[in-house]
Amino acid sequence: MFPSEYLFGPSLCRPFMDAEQLDLSIIVPVLDEEDNLIPLVEEIKSILEDMPFEIIFIDDGSTDNSLKIMTDLKGTESNVRVIKHRRNFGKAVALKTGFAAAKGQISITMDGDLQDNPSEIPRFIEEIEKGNDIVCGWRAKRRDNIFKRWPSKIYNRLVRLMCGIKIHDMNCGFKAYDTDLAKSLNLYGDMHRYTPVLGKMNGARISEIAINHRPRLHGKSKYGSKRLLRGFFDLITVSFLMAFLERPMHLFGKVGGFLSTVGLAICSYLVIVKYAFDEGIGDRPLLSLGILLIIIGVQFFLLGLLGETITYRSSENNTNQSASKEL
């Protein structure tokens, strides 16, 4: 049997929340990083020796000795916590698990591969204390091969263009959050890349700092071409949510209005042809097209109204704690 600290699955970390309040929670998703965990903890301890903090390891289905090493660390370090997923659910769910379990006022997320330098943590904290809700790390001199750097540069340019957030390195996992905001983020799939976008939708103040990125010394990178493709599809999803999540009628209404207008124009033309020139129109494909466009346009309008109704009901029943804070 595993200790009660463990969680099997991606949901419901609320049992971990108690009255104890810390300054800082460091959330580290782990997948097969057995050689990096002990040095990471030692580095963090040396940097934050004067601050109350916790390290939350999320084991996301590791197949090596990572889990054993984390449990050994938990036994020797009072501020180390370990949460285990039953299988690999992905980094987004691991972060969601960590945010739900976090007790600190500030949450730091970082990878367990030692490429994120813990000495940067005080700088992240300073930025949060200035009033920012999310602080993103920017690997200005990224220590990865060209097959990771160039696709990432193209991707980040697309994100800045489509989402309007001036962040150089959306993919960087080294970030700081106001914990209350972080707990409100709806993370799933590969949405961990878009926490600044999701935060912006909740009115978050976002900043960025250049960080020291180190080369990987142990283990294997989890980066692959499938991940890049999924990231592109998620970018489309996030762009859509930013534009139309709270006003679906603005999308469906415009499309429905355009289609209905074209359909009415076609039908009006055919009516003129029939009564002004006494020509038959019953066998013209253009008549079927005009009627079809009107029907589809009306359906889009109805979809927009349905979306508005769902949005209204959701806003009535859901108090968004991230958008307001008692002072």
Residue 104's SS3 state is strand
Amino acid code (one letter) for 68: K
Strand 104-109 relative to strand 134-138: parallel, antiparallel, unpaired?
unpaired
- Model pTM score: 0.74
Whether residue 202 is predicted with pLDDT greater than 60 in this model: the reply is: yes
Q: Which of 87-96, 164-173, 292-301 has the lowest mean pLDDT?
A: 164-173
* Residue 49 exposed, middle or buried by CB count within 10 Å (0-12, 13-18, 19+): exposed
Nearest to 177 by CA among 158, 200, 161: 200
Residues 206-247: tens digit of each pLDDT: 999 999 988 888 767 766 556 666 777 777 877 777 777 667
Nearest to 191 by CA among 275, 101, 51, 94: 94
Q: Tokens for 264, please give them.
A: 């009415």
Q: How far apart are CA 273 and CA 93, in angstroms?
A: 61
Structural domain spans, the chain:
14-244, 249-323
Q: Which residues contact 286 (CB under 8 A, 6 or more apart)?
A: 266, 269, 270
Residue 4's SS3 state is coil
Q: Which CATH number is associated with domain 14-244?
A: 3.90.550.10
Count CB-CB contacts under 10 A for residue 164.
Answer: 11
Q: Which of 9-13, 111-115, 246-250, 292-296 has the lowest mean pLDDT?
A: 9-13
Residue 291 pLDDT: 94
Whether residue 96 is predicted with pLDDT greater than 90 in this model: the reply is: yes
First-to-final CA distance of the chain: 44
Residue 232 pLDDT: 73
> What is the mean predicted confidence (pLDDT) over 78-102?
93
Q: Which residues contact 126 (CB under 8 A, 6 or more apart)?
A: none
Q: Which residues contact 151 (CB under 8 A, 6 or more apart)?
A: 228
Whether residue 19 is predicted with pLDDT greater than 80 in this model: the reply is: no
Query: Would you say 60 and 30 are in contact if contact means Cβ atoms under 8 Å apart?
Result: yes
Average pLDDT of every residue of the chain: 84
Residues 265-282: tens digit of each pLDDT: 999 999 998 888 888 888
Whether residue 165 is predicted with pLDDT greater than 80 in this model: the reply is: yes
Instruction: Give the pLDDT band (50/70/90) at residue 12.
Output: very low
